[in-house]
Amino acid sequence: MRCAIGRTGMTTLKAEGDGGTPVGTWPLRRVFYRQDRVSCPVTGLPTTIISPDDGWCDAPADPNYNRPVKLPYPASAEEMWRQDNVYDIVVELGYNDDPVIDGRGSAIFLHLARANYEPTAGCVAVALDDMRALLALLKPGAVIRIDPEIY
């Protein structure tokens, strides 16, 4: 399926804010979704409803770096409740989370693509119909492989 990746392409040396999509095989942890905009996706992965105060810490020095947080948060954090639709369905990738390494990148997701598939900040993005079809196939233990040789 067609997808968008980070604005600087794929990278094996991911750093916070570099715009790169990390190369590797990453577990698909759970699905977040905006219940006010979309129905709960059919999937074997765990699902979580996004709330207006949900965020994701992107401050490398913070103890909650690359973890979900509640907003307002005292350190830098990305808003999960977005005005656009790209986070209406979001799959958390198990990137830099076991263990978390400060500065190696945060909030790496599989999320919805913009209409023109413009590049992401480092995530992978697909169309809504493709996301729903993919999620219906997934169960715990599923992974995503990000590899320049297969794209």
When pLDDT is averaged across residues 136-140 and rounded to a whole number, the result is 98
Q: Is it the case that residue 151 has pLDDT exceeding 80? A: no
Query: pLDDT per residue over 87-117, tens digit each?
Result: 999 999 999 999 999 999 999 999 999 999 9
Query: pLDDT per residue over 29-50, tens digit each?
Result: 999 999 999 999 999 999 999 9
The alpha carbon dihedral of 78, 82, 85, 91 has a sign of positive
- How is the chain split into domains, by residue range? 10-47+88-150
Q: Looking at the chain, how many residues does it have?
A: 151
pLDDT at 38: 98
